[in-house]
Amino acid sequence: MESDATSSALANIRFDVLQPSPLLIVISGPSGVGKDAVLNEMKARLLPFHFVVTTTSRKPRPGEVEGVDYNFVDLADFESMIANNELIEYALVYQDYKGIPRNQVTRALQSGKDVVMRLDVQGARKIRDLFPEAVLIFLVPADAKEWYQRLIDRKTETPESLKIRIETALGELNQLDLFDYVVVNAHNRLQKAVDDIEAIIKVEHSRTKPRKINI
């Protein structure tokens, strides 16, 4: 039987510290490392996140689906989104514009959902500047040859665009310090990479000092 003092103490204990704050999670890494493959697997696992659909001025590749892979718009529409401050971050990536729609991120965070976005390294840096509390994850291949082969096998690049992506990757790999975590996406070990990302997110939700995103 509880005493009055115990009941009143119990009534005053607040466990709402366990209410998680939604996270802003960036998956970045060199072109071809597997960011989209990782995201697709996270979606297939029905993880309860909001996966940002980036807006781009790039033309769809065969098989890419509007509203799933990207929101495809023409250059004039993209420029008007920039002018109207509708994008949290945007950049010219391999000669096409890509950007993160502000309203998507705001709505998802307000509803309490973690937000996951994939960005190149310049985009990850911008997000770090804007939201120091974002969780930045850098995806790397297990070795360089395997990564190069993935880009070739994907058959999306011309020799010129392949060269640009490789040169860009060399610069990106020097910026590891920007990131909170590194995850290896080894050949045919996609599940392991996604397990690691899930584990990171779980740990982030167990912080005694939760990251708070002010948007």
Ligand X SMILES: Nc1nc2c(ncn2[C@@H]2O[C@H](COP(=O)(O)O)[C@@H](O)[C@H]2O)c(=O)[nH]1
Ligand Y SMILES: Nc1ncnc2c1ncn2[C@@H]1O[C@H](COP(=O)(O)OP(=O)(O)OP(=O)(O)O)[C@@H](O)[C@H]1O
Q: Residues binding ligand Y: what is the number (CB under 6 A)?
A: 15
Q: Tell me: does residue 99 bind ligand X (CB under 6 A).
A: yes
Q: Which does 77 bind (CB under 5 to 8 A by kind): ligand X, ligand Y, none?
A: none
Residue whose CB is less far from ligand Y, 53 or 190: 190
Least Cβ distance, residue 200 to ligand Y (angstroms): 17
Q: Tell me: does residue 100 bind ligand X (CB under 6 A).
A: yes
Instruction: Print the binding letters for residues 32-61 with ligand Y: x by CB under 6 A, - otherwise.
Output: xxxxxx------------------------
Least Cβ distance, residue 177 to ligand X (angstroms): 18
Can you tell me which of 22, 31, 115, 213 binds ligand X, judged by CB under 6 A? 31
31-to-1, 132, 165, 212 alpha-carbon distances in Å: 64, 24, 6, 29
Q: What is the DSSP string of the chain?
A: ---HHHHHHHHH---GGGSPPPPEEEEE-STTSSHHHHHHHHHHTT-SEEE---EESSPPPTT--BTTTBEE--HHHHHHHHHTT-EEEEEEETTEEEEEEHHHHHHHHHTT-EEEEEE-HHHHHHHHHH-TT-EEEEEE-SSHHHHHHHHHHHT---HHHHHHHHHHHHHHGGGGGG-SEEEE--TT-HHHHHHHHHHHHHHHTT-SS------
Q: Tell me: does residue 58 bind ligand X (CB under 6 A).
A: yes
Q: Which does 24 bind (CB under 5 to 8 A by kind): ligand Y, ligand X, none?
A: none
Stretch that binds ligand Y, among 11-19, 29-37, 53-61, 76-84 (CB under 6 A): 29-37
Q: Which does 54 bind (CB under 5 to 8 A by kind): ligand Y, ligand X, none?
A: ligand X
Q: Tell me: does residue 123 bind ligand Y (CB under 6 A).
A: no
Contacts with ligand Y, residue ranges (CB under 6 A): 31-37, 150, 153-154, 185, 187-190
